[in-house]
Structure 1
Amino acid sequence: MYIYIVSNCDSIEEIYMHHQWLRDTQEDAVAQVLKAGLDLDCGMYYTNFTKNSVVQGKVREAGIDKALKNLYNVFMRLRFFDGSSSFKSLGKNDVCSNEHIELALSS
């Protein structure tokens, strides 16, 4: 079994804006979740604050490499790069179907 960790969109922003862990900066919040093992957040915090977090010495490039390795392993297992993956054609309507919403609500 292969495991990688994702979160809901904007989870890092939620930590920074609303949880206010130890009065962390945005770069601190990115460093905390990356070190905790969060491989993917579909919000903008990794995009906007990871570079400065590395420059400030809060995140090591090895941590970023680990997260990327996890994500690319999943892409490869899904055959994303060999042209045979059917996941590329999926859109919001496929994911947010009534069946999937009911399944999520039943948990």
Structure 2
Amino acid sequence: MNEVFAYWYNTADLQKLLSLYEETAIHVTKEGETTVGLENIKKDLQLLLGLNGHMTSVNLSTVINGNIALLQAKFVLRDRSKENILVQGITSEVLRRQPDGSWKYMIDRPFSQIV
């Protein structure tokens, strides 16, 4: 999932990024503020896309219990030259398997740890 997020980020496709979230998903900002629902998450993602960077993301761990999964990943967001790091961190996410078998974020905390 984290690799998919990075892929859609790098194509700057806001709608594809939003499609990775449930309607009532929770997103925790870098400042620790909680936003709920797609409209609020859309605003957060627009700010992220505004950095105009290139993201890489590597999954660190996955724990699945039925239709719920806990993920952790390390991401690095660099400028478009890929030389300078804009931000990097360790994420924590809770996903739910959808009826069609896909997974969507229920809770996304991209800055659970800033490195």
TM norm structure 2: 0.21
Identify, as 1 or 2, the structure richer in helix.
1
Q: Which has the larger radius of gyration?
A: 1
Identify, as 1 or 2, the structure richer in strand.
2
TM norm structure 1: 0.22
